[in-house]
Structure 1
Amino acid sequence: MILGRRHPRMPKGVTARLDRRDQPLAAAELTDGSWAVVAAGALVVVGAGGVQDRHPWHEVEHGSWDGDAREFTVTWVDGRVSPLVLTTADDEVADFTAVLRERVQSSVVHTESMDTPGGAFVRVNIRRDEAGQLFSQLTAQGALRGDAAERELIDDLERRARAAVGLAT
């Protein structure tokens, strides 16, 4: 006998507020009574009043679980946007976190990275958006010098990443 994944049962009133494209692959109840839903195209936070947040997977940089606080923190590719902290109603989040990780990873098609001479780490991800279109996404950890030589290295890195998947360079 093959057992399927156990999904927490969302209240019908909450499920009814989801858009047709956002049918749950996994979900976690939050302490405020809303639900974090992993859908094929996005992370959705929905409550009795409707959708509160919706974030396509290509916007997500990273997710981390703090079991002591029962908090799942989502950080964004755009570091200027504050992380989303989801406080779960219980510790039964293994399915939720695993499926969330899989959805983020599925949006990444190809990656190239390098350390710049100034010490910053630069990564180019080729990602797929909700419509299936590929695009390049650059992130940097550490300070960039911003000079012409560094810009040329980063531009070359992006050209290589785009060429690897057949995107225009």
Structure 2
Amino acid sequence: MILRRDRRLPEPLAAHLAARDAPLASAELADGTWAVVARAALAVVGPSGIVVRSPWHEVERGTWDGDESVLTVTWVDGVRAPLELKVHDAPSAERFTRALRERVQSSLVHSESAELPGGAIVMVHIRRDEDGALFSQVTARGRLRDDAEERRLVDEMERHARAAVGLTT
């Protein structure tokens, strides 16, 4: 059996990262940049510095496509285009993708979801930002009617989720 050791983030690139962004896992990308899973954020770093840096509470999920060796990161806000990370060495991506999943999950403290009368699914997440503060995040899948009753239901869901973790107002 041949044991292989994953390549490490080169020191000149690591020097661009702040101390709070010390790599927990990293993966070389096909374009020569590196994706870094850090305690506080996901970063992409290249020779001239940080290309992307997003705190974990902004990440909705990462989806691995093994056939293409691409990790697609989607964002909670649903506005930013997904970030596609083409991994240079797919076999070494396992540790990176595991670490990414763990960090996204670590930002989620509590979640609740419900289907509204109009059919949209609303999710309320209590998340931890990169400084450790808790806050609520409301997202929806499907079309919202945006009427008074729907707003009341969403507000009640958010109040309930916040109360479940001791957040008020």
TM over 0.5: yes
Aligned-partner Cα distance in 2 for 1:142–1:70: 30
1:13-61 CA-to-partner distances (Å, cap 9, x unmatched) read 1111111111100000001111000000000100111111100000000
Aligned-partner Cα distance in 1 for 2:16–2:164: 40
**Corresponding residue number in structure 2 for 1:97:** 97
Name the count of aligned residue pairs: 164
SS at match of 1:61: strand
Q: Letter of the aligned partner of 1:84 in structure 2?
A: L
State yes or no: 1:116 paired with 2:116.
yes
State yes or no: 1:47 paired with 2:46.
yes
Calculate the TM-score normalised by the size of structure 2: 0.95
Instruction: Confirm or deny: 8 A CA contact 1:57 1:107 kept in the other structure.
Output: yes
Question: Residues 148-167 of structure 1 correspond to what in structure 2 (within 5 A)?
Answer: 148-167=148-167
SS at match of 1:93: helix
**Corresponding residue number in structure 1 for 2:55:** 56
Between the aligned residues of both structures, percent identity stands at 61
SS at match of 1:31: coil
Residue 7 of structure 1: CA displacement? 4.5
Give the CA RMSD over aligned residues: 0.9
Question: Residues 1-169 of structure 1 correspond to what in structure 2 (within 5 A)?
Answer: 7-91=6-90, 92-169=92-169
Calculate the TM-score normalised by the size of structure 1: 0.95
Q: Letter of the aligned partner of 1:152 in structure 2?
A: R
Gaps (5+ residues) in structure 1? Answer: 1-5
Instruction: Confirm or deny: 8 A CA contact 1:7 1:27 kept in the other structure.
Output: no
Instruction: Confirm or deny: 8 A CA contact 1:7 1:26 kept in the other structure.
Output: no
1:106-149 CA-to-partner distances (Å, cap 9, x unmatched) read 00000111000000000000000011100000000000011111
Q: Letter of the aligned partner of 2:137 in structure 1?
A: Q
Aligned-partner Cα distance in 2 for 1:108–1:28: 24
Q: Letter of the aligned partner of 2:156 in structure 1?
A: D
Q: Letter of the aligned partner of 2:13 in structure 1?
A: V
Aligned-partner Cα distance in 2 for 1:7–1:166: 42
Instruction: Confirm or deny: 8 A CA contact 1:124 1:136 kept in the other structure.
Output: yes
Aligned-partner Cα distance in 1 for 2:6–2:145: 48
Aligned-partner Cα distance in 2 for 1:120–1:39: 34
